[in-house]
Structure 1
Amino acid sequence: MSNTQNSSLRPSRMKRRLSRDGEDSPSSCEGPTDSCKRVRQPTVDSGDLPPDWACLPQEILLHIFQFLPLLDRAFASQVCRGWNEAFHMPELWRCFEFELNQPASSYLKATHPDLIKQIIKRHSNHLQYVSFKVDSSTESAEAACDILSQLVNCSLKTLGLISTARPSFMELPKSHFISALTVVFVNSKSLSSLKIDDTPVDDPSLKVLVANNSDTLKLLKMSSCPHVSPAGILCVADQCHGLRELALNYHLLSDELLLALSSEKHVHLEHLRIDVVSENPGQQFHTIKKSSWDAMVRHSPKFNLVMYFFLYEDEFGPFFRDEIPVTHLYFGRSVSKEVLGRVGMNCPRLVELVVCANGLRPLDEELIRIAERCQHLSAIGLGECEVSCSAFVEFVKMCGRRLSQLSIMEEVLIPDHKYSLDEIHWEVSKHLGRVWFPDMMPTW
């Protein structure tokens, strides 16, 4: 382009620039009228505009709402129609926890009754992962049952009934509770996880559960359910071949149950949790055959057997006489040196051991035996016990760096001729490969 052409364009560009800058107006333009017509109108940078939150795509709103607490989500739903529609998107109601607490007996906030009505009316068929958290009051448990009774259009995958304090569900008339639970069992037909500890569930209701959910049930947790018999839990094991996790009281454990869980058509069990609880001093406990445990290990060689013992010292007679495949062992009450000696002899799969109390007789020999025989032990906690510093160092040396968790109260360790309390942490740290100090408070 020639210089003449370039120079002819400059005035036009200057005029447009002046117009944009507000320093001149189109009326002052010199030259053809067309030039004035082509002057650009003032523009506003889009970055200066406030964001239009009402125009957010629902996919983005859904992602944001999923991070909001329920109350904040409810407040946000009042902003505009679009946000209110987002509040009711089915994806937001797949997982829900009903908190049913009475102001007089709980400091926790309860789910508002109006919201409960709205959920039942508009979202009961969207609920999939549901839990009910109740306090110790009968009113809270009754409210939970009333909601369960209305979930006739539900298709739950998981259900948990959680009592923050006893007795709660156990105070309800048994028929009322069973009737409400049966509604879910019959209508869901796809339950995979059921947690119903401390409830009056019984054998007939378990049969209803099995009849409608036998192909999908994978986890059943039902400790402290006194109306269930060994025959009732055996029915579940016999027909729910996909069951991978089971938690129950020791009185429901039987040789027949272990054999059912070990059958060829049953999947490999992953976790079996047993609560061994003494309701009355001097209570008698039955014995499980070693052959039944052996069958379980052959079928599911990697399963975890977790056992919680809350017994008095004279009630341990039937336990640890033969080899038992326990992996995680917790003693919630005082346990004798003799029983801990049997643990060292007959628990070769032991991974974790917690002893809350023992007495004032040192556990040196017992601890060394556990280190020798329990080759997979990686976590140990000792509370009101006594161990000499030398024996403790030897124990740590034998277990080596596989001890990922070592929680020992300072008062457990008794200084001797080799180590004082000021010296022991250096020696233990050396064998663990990390800095270690005794605990001032228990961490379990």
Structure 2
Amino acid sequence: MQALWDCLPTDVLIMIFTFLPRRERLACSMVCMSWKAALNTPSLWKHMLVIVDKDLMNDPSTILFTREYHKFIKSLELGWSRPYVPIRWLSTKVSDVVKRTTRYFIILTENFVQLHSLKMHCWNDLSRFRKIVYHIALFLKAQTSLANLCFYNAMLNKCDFVRFIMSCMNCGTRVSHLDIRNSYYNSNDEIDSVQVINCIEHMKGLRLMKVDYSIFRREVTHVLSSGNNIQLRIVEIHIHNGDLTPIRNDDWKEISDQLSGLKVALYFNNMLDIEGVISVLQRSIPLQTFYLTTAKSWHNYSPNSCYEMFRVLAMLYRNTLGIRMRVKHRCRVV
């Protein structure tokens, strides 16, 4: 049996290892030289998902295989397992969390790990972890090849969010995909407009942006009006009930004139007021996608209001638009 395992082609071993969790792969690397050589394959370690309160607190293999295979890591995803549930042990283990998380980022920084993609989600307030924030920012400053930057549902406080964005500016011209939806937990607070504008303006290779309407209305419109992001092709704007202040048609026209190839996707989530949806629509929006989900009860629902919404959409965007509408958990494509 041992001889048969020794005779397995490397490609077959690699395929088998893709079905194993990282901890088991690390154990397999200690079986024999042929298995260790097969595990020395970039595709097995290209994407790294690290759940802080599981992988760094309860699994020492995370540190071990990061040291062993760091040169293959190109995509890193960071988060917590249950961020919205109070972690009862956290108050007694804050020092352990800080120590192990900072050690992990020191390993990445010292080995000059260069990422193509970074995703941070479900972090919430890091005010108790200032040392972690410092080492994450230090690691981001060393990046020169980041193309995909995602803070979707990061739920950071606004100071940490701005600090992380600014730390990525060494690779700003290379960033082609930016997702900052729900990136900080109090979206009603205005973040530092000047810093955010400067960062997004520096991303001259940006082609896709996903952003909340509140940030787009307050900060991003000024950036796009300048015309610096000439390669930008798609902007996904996610609108939540309660923030339906319209952007002036003249501002949309200026953006369209500066970025002639730009297409906009509007995602209205859990809407209660159709009249508010209609108020956001402006003639000069280069709208390509319109997506609407409604809450279980509409405040101003009437057949006439729905008719008026579709009339406005057909009048303004009939040549470019695909419409998807979800009502009472059913989906219709119009």
TM-score w.r.t. length of structure 1: 0.57
Q: Work out which of the residue numbers 406, 418, 423 in structure 1 matches 2:332.
A: 406
- Aligned position for 1:311: none
Residue 272 (structure 2) pairs with residue 334 (structure 1): yes
- Aligned position for 1:150: 107
Indicate conservation of the 8 Å contact 2:213/2:237, yes or no.
no
**Identity, % of aligned pairs?**
14
Indicate conservation of the 8 Å contact 2:247/2:280, yes or no.
no
Residue 113 (structure 2) pairs with residue 113 (structure 1): no
Q: Distance in 2 between matches of 1:129 and 1:79?
A: 27
- Aligned position for 1:215: 173
The Cα shift of 1:364 comes to 0.6
Q: Write out aligned runs for 1:161-172 (5 A).
A: 161-163=120-122, 168-172=123-127
Q: Distance in 1 between matches of 2:210 and 2:132?
A: 21
Gap change, CA 1:59 and 1:187, over 3 Å in 2: farther
Q: Distance in 2 between matches of 1:133 and 1:256?
A: 27
Gapped regions of structure 2 (runs ≥ 5): none
Deviation per residue, 1:237-256 (Å, 9 max, x gap): 21111122333444433576
Name whichever of 365-374 and 136-145 sits farther off: 136-145
TM-score w.r.t. length of structure 2: 0.74
Indicate conservation of the 8 Å contact 2:238/2:267, yes or no.
no
Q: Aligned letter for 2:35?
A: W
Q: Distance in 2 between matches of 1:141 and 1:247?
A: 31
Residue 135 (structure 2) pairs with residue 183 (structure 1): no
> Secondary structure, in 3 states, of the residue corresponding to 2:230?
coil
The Cα shift of 1:304 comes to 3.0
Gap change, CA 1:295 and 1:65, over 3 Å in 2: farther
Indicate conservation of the 8 Å contact 1:98/1:111, yes or no.
no
Q: Distance in 2 between matches of 1:345 and 1:194?
A: 29
Gap change, CA 1:183 and 1:362, over 3 Å in 2: closer
Residue 237 (structure 2) pairs with residue 273 (structure 1): yes
Q: Aligned letter for 2:32?
A: C
Equivalent residues, number = 302
Q: Work out which of the residue numbers 103, 110, 123 in structure 1 matches 2:69.
A: 123
Gap change, CA 1:291 and 1:255, over 3 Å in 2: farther
The Cα shift of 1:360 comes to 6.8
- Aligned position for 2:147: 192
> Secondary structure, in 3 states, of the residue corresponding to 1:406?
strand
- Aligned position for 1:378: 323
- Aligned position for 1:231: 194
Deviation per residue, 1:233-292 (Å, 9 max, x gap): 2012211111223334444335763243351552123133345576xxxxx987633222
Gap change, CA 1:111 and 1:141, over 3 Å in 2: closer
Indicate conservation of the 8 Å contact 2:208/2:232, yes or no.
no
Q: Distance in 1 between matches of 2:282 and 2:247?
A: 17
Q: Distance in 1 between matches of 2:229 and 2:127?
A: 38
Q: Write out aligned runs for 1:300-311 (5 A).
A: 300-305=260-265
Q: Write out aligned runs for 1:315-334 (5 A).
A: 327-330=266-269, 332=270, 334=272
Deviation per residue, 1:127-147 (Å, 9 max, x gap): 111112313245597454542
Deviation per residue, 1:365-402 (Å, 9 max, x gap): 12222333323343111239xxxxxxxxxxxxxxxxxx
Q: Distance in 1 between matches of 2:244 and 2:200?
A: 22
> Secondary structure, in 3 states, of the residue corresponding to 2:49?
strand
Indicate conservation of the 8 Å contact 1:206/1:236, yes or no.
yes
- Aligned position for 2:38: 86
> Secondary structure, in 3 states, of the residue corresponding to 1:151?
helix
- Aligned position for 1:297: 256
RMSD of the TM alignment (CA)? 3.7
> Secondary structure, in 3 states, of the residue corresponding to 1:246?
strand
Gap change, CA 1:300 and 1:116, over 3 Å in 2: farther
The Cα shift of 1:216 comes to 1.2
Q: Aligned letter for 1:132?
A: L
Deviation per residue, 1:116-160 (Å, 9 max, x gap): 221232222321111123132455974545422431121111111
Deviation per residue, 1:80-115 (Å, 9 max, x gap): 33113322434421211113335xxxxxx8785321
- Aligned position for 2:78: 132
Q: Distance in 1 between matches of 2:217 and 2:312?
A: 27
- Aligned position for 1:14: none
The Cα shift of 1:303 comes to 2.1
The Cα shift of 1:63 comes to 3.6
Name whichever of 199-208 and 343-352 sits farther off: 343-352
> Secondary structure, in 3 states, of the residue corresponding to 2:125?
helix
Q: Aligned letter for 1:219?
A: H
The Cα shift of 1:66 comes to 2.7
Q: Distance in 1 between matches of 2:331 and 2:277?
A: 19
Indicate conservation of the 8 Å contact 2:79/2:121, yes or no.
yes
Q: Aligned letter for 2:264?
A: N
Q: Aligned letter for 2:155?
A: D
Deviation per residue, 1:301-342 (Å, 9 max, x gap): 45233xxxxxxxxxxxxxxxxxxxxx3322x2532x533554
Gap change, CA 1:144 and 1:234, over 3 Å in 2: same
Indicate conservation of the 8 Å contact 1:203/1:232, yes or no.
yes
Q: Work out which of the residue numbers 7, 16, 26 in structure 2 matches 1:64.
A: 16
Gapped regions of structure 1 (runs ≥ 5): 1-48, 103-108, 279-283, 306-326, 385-403, 408-431, 433-444
Q: Distance in 2 between matches of 1:362 and 1:285?
A: 17
The higher-RCO structure (CA 8 Å, 6+ apart) is 2
> Secondary structure, in 3 states, of the residue corresponding to 2:60?
helix
* Structure whose CA Rg is larger: 1
Gap change, CA 1:113 and 1:277, over 3 Å in 2: farther
